[in-house]
A and B are shown apart, each in its own frame.
Chain A
């Protein structure tokens, strides 16, 4: 692992320079929100921000993407091209919780039998540069309850830690180390910085104020697919899907076709288990008839099924669903309530 020092006021410029050669996806101010977006020429990323509104999963798994194009022939419609457009890229400014979310999503998109070429191609060509949460941004952050840490290195190629006057830059992977040369002349880091980082790591962990018993509820979930408790959580839900769209680990999608004249495309778009249409069958039968079943699915998927299949809770504790739910459904409260049953 290579360690370097980046001056505080130089970081935004360094990332801007990288965006001259490579695609850079980074936090930028967009009206009232901080959003992950592609840096346009001349744009600098935000380096001081609490957190982004959207999760950066969009970069590997876009909200909408063209999978393939086709055209009309005399015999029907035939494939014109498979659209695989991954380019060398840097994903800058992700929080450690999102970096972890990619490790969880890899279980789905990069499983041994079926490789999702769209996701994998982007993932392989992208260097993930994280900004450690020296001060966790929100009171709704609960990463430490779900296997994460505000200064975790998991899933990142490079981690930058704000040490006050400089950033400590840790280049963790070969992919990350290749970025060093694109960052100009960076001083080597001395060991004193490691000690300072460790100190900050301990305080950052203490600054996480929200704790939930995420790993304790599985035995109850294993036994209680049918339970009156499930009647209590969904009633205010509007089925808007905000929680699933903003969630860094939600990966459900739809595949649809669009035709215009002689040409058409097959596209993939995010979908949501909160929608009644999600499981609606052609016959009219729907195995999840009400919002109750859909909420149970969301909870079960994150805290039981994913654990059964991949050994981890499918939640990174970013708190985005808690902050953005229009009717204040709080997954932390639900998990805590279950732990008391």
Chain B
């Protein structure tokens, strides 16, 4: 049974945080029912898990916590389909399952020794948050150069991880640039679209890697900014999403060209994506 990759690891819902004013994005903190499962669940930022609810199904979601935060794992989930709707109706203390960790990771070894630019849009900030927490962890921080973050949402109420954003703002070893498309009466921060803010912040491409996640429209307008700043396609990374079932490269539905997003991805550099078909 231990070797059966389809059997979910039992977990308990430990804590639920409603992230946005629209209440359709929540962060779920899970603890492992069995200690040995917790020890065996070794992951790195960028990987995902299949959230598994018996009776409803499974949904592949990026891991939002960092391995530097032991004892639990977190996923930030938008209410959308059958599984995520069921999840959103759950209460703390409920028992369910997780399969994982699945997929590849942000290229941690490659990122070490470099300046890192993180660009996130809206709700696609979850595995980026994992990466940020990983990099700024005390023992890891010296392995990375400057860290610049540009994170935007449509309006202040839609920014996720607000407490963490505030905490990161206070640090002097991470350059935070949080923006909203349009502020409200209480918003004192920056206004403007993510691509525009990237242009204003203008991070140097010298010894730097950009990691970009967001809605397609944001990515489309952000990439030219980074090309102009001199970032090569080898030094821009993103993460793909596709419909998945097995998560382990067998059920045949999440391929982009000859790669399975679940097994060979979800993380790809733009240079890698250029070699694949444009079918995602």
Contacts and interface: CB of A to CB of B under 8 A. Distances in A.
Interface in A266-306: 266, 271, 273, 278-283, 287-288, 293, 297, 300-301, 304-305
Given A114-B250, A279-B243, A301 B255 contact: yes
A273 B253 contact: yes
A151 to B, nearest CB: 31
A217 to B, nearest CB: 15
A125 interface: no
Nearest to A264: B55
A82 B57 contact: no
A204 B8 CA distance: 49
Contacts of A297: 255, 279
Given A75-B94, A76-B95, A287-B279, A68 B7 contact: yes
B165 interface: no
B252 interface: yes
B125 to A, nearest CB: 17
Contacts of B1: 82
Given A114-B5, A293-B279, A76 B250 contact: no
Given A75-B94, A255-B6, A279-B242, A114 B249 contact: yes
B3 A77 contact: no
B258 interface: yes
Contacts of A279: 242-243, 253
B54 A287 contact: no
Contacts of B5: 114-117
Interface residues of B, number: 44
**What is the interface of chain B mostly: helix, strand, loop, or mixed?**
loop
Interface in A232-291: 251-257, 259, 264, 266, 271, 273, 278-283, 287-288
A208 B101 CA distance: 48
Contact of B80 (A111, A253, A283): A283
Nearest to A78: B95
Nearest to B86: A76
A257 B243 contact: no
Interface residues of A, number: 49
B265 to A, nearest CB: 14
A75 B246 contact: no
B80 A78 contact: no
B96 interface: yes
B141 interface: no
Interface in B50-96: 53-58, 80-81, 84, 90, 93-96
Given A256-B57, A257-B55, A282-B81, 14 more contacts: A76-B96, A77-B53, A79-B97, A108-B250, A117-B5, A225-B257, A225-B278, A251-B250, A253-B250, A281-B243, A301-B252, A304-B258, A305-B255, A305-B257
29 contacts: A68-B6, A75-B93, A75-B94, A75-B95, A76-B53, A76-B90, A76-B94, A76-B95, A77-B54, A79-B8, A79-B10, A82-B4, A108-B249, A117-B3, A253-B245, A253-B251, A253-B252, A255-B245, A255-B246, A256-B57, A257-B57, A264-B55, A266-B54, A271-B245, A279-B243, A280-B243, A281-B241, A282-B81, A297-B255
Interface of B: 1, 3-8, 10, 12, 53-58, 80-81, 84, 90, 93-97, 241-243, 245-246, 248-253, 255-258, 263, 277-280
